[in-house]
Structure 1
Amino acid sequence: MSTHTAYAIEIKVESRYLREQSDPSASRYAFAYTIHIKNTGAIAAQLIDRHWKIIDGNGELKEVQGPGVVGEQPLLEPGASFSYTSGCLLETPVGTMEGSYGMRAKDGHTFAAPIALFRLAKPNALN
């Protein structure tokens, strides 16, 4: 069995601006993001921890690390999915997030599942 097919996690992200929780006059921009995680590999794997790099429109970097996601460390059998929604506050109307999930396969192998860069943007902020 090749490593590529044994340990494979697919991650998709949807983000949205939360107008009702934002206050632009106070440089407070709230965003929600929904993450869809799917084990496309051949071995069950558990999400152990997360590492985020959040960059606002001023280029300020904030890193977030910790165990699991939304208080959970889901075990994903091959073909199984897990989704969750979380949020982020920025001081600017645009920013980006990217990162990785630390995974542990059922056979003890640990690996990182990368989360590709995605944008956080207030509607019409980039026009």
Structure 2
Amino acid sequence: MVTEITAGVKVSVEAIYQPEYSNPENEHFMFAYRITIENIGDYSVQLLRRHWYIFDSNGTHREVEGEGVVGQQPVIDPGEFYEYVSGCNLKSDMGSMEGSYQMLREVDGVLFDVTIPKFYLIPEHKLN
């Protein structure tokens, strides 16, 4: 698990290879990732947008932007957290992801970016 704190928001990520949804013969490798966003600051924040950089070890790079996460734009109060699970497919069996969330501080309407730390998409059997 990797973790990073930006402006009172703690983001932790854990990635897991999904062999049952992968098809290596057809260059399809599926990974799930669980993200926990914890508000350790003093003010409520709302997650508005996401921006991902996805790197595949075959040399391809993708950028994904959009509103919210998994169809939600959660408000996270101080001391609370929001957790979700999503997925990413690669054409090779190794890669990485990193990015940012655009957040709104509700008390004053200030927009700010929160770093999503870089995490690696690698099947467990590759680490042995």
Question: Which amino acid counterpart does residue 96 of structure 2 have in structure 1?
Answer: T
C-alpha separation between the residues in 1 aligned to 2:35 and 2:81?
Answer: 10
Q: What corresponds to 2:3 in structure 1?
A: none
- The reply to whether residue 64 of structure 1 matches residue 64 of structure 2 is yes
Q: What corresponds to 1:4 in structure 2?
A: none
The 3-state SS of whatever aligns with 1:125 is: helix
Q: Deviations 1:13-37 (Å, cap 9, x if unpaired)?
A: 0110000000000000000000000
Percent identity of paired positions between Structure 1 and Structure 2: 44
Kindly report which structure 2 residues correspond to 1:32-43, keeping only aligned pairs within 5 A, or say none: 32-43=32-43
State the shift of 1:124 in Å. 2.4
Residues 71 and 63 of structure 1, relative CA distance in 2, 3 Å threshold: same
The 3-state SS of whatever aligns with 2:25 is: helix
Kindly report which structure 2 residues correspond to 1:38-117, keeping only aligned pairs within 5 A, or say none: 38-106=38-106, 107-117=108-118
C-alpha separation between the residues in 1 aligned to 2:80 and 2:110?
Answer: 18
Q: What corresponds to 1:23 in structure 2?
A: 23
The 3-state SS of whatever aligns with 2:34 is: strand
Q: What corresponds to 2:125 in structure 1?
A: 124
Runs of 4+ with >6 A deviation: none
State the shift of 1:126 in Å. 4.6
State the shift of 1:8 in Å. 1.3
Name stretches of at least 5 consecutive residues in structure 2 with no aligned partner.
1-6
Task: Name the count of aligned residue pairs.
Answer: 121
Over the aligned positions, Cα root-mean-square deviation in angstroms equals 1.0
The 3-state SS of whatever aligns with 1:124 is: helix
> TM-score, normalised to structure 2's length?
0.91
C-alpha separation between the residues in 2 aligned to 1:56 and 1:9?
Answer: 28
> TM-score, normalised to structure 1's length?
0.92
Name stretches of at least 5 consecutive residues in structure 1 with no aligned partner.
1-6
C-alpha separation between the residues in 1 aligned to 2:29 and 2:123?
Answer: 8
C-alpha separation between the residues in 2 aligned to 1:73 and 1:8?
Answer: 18
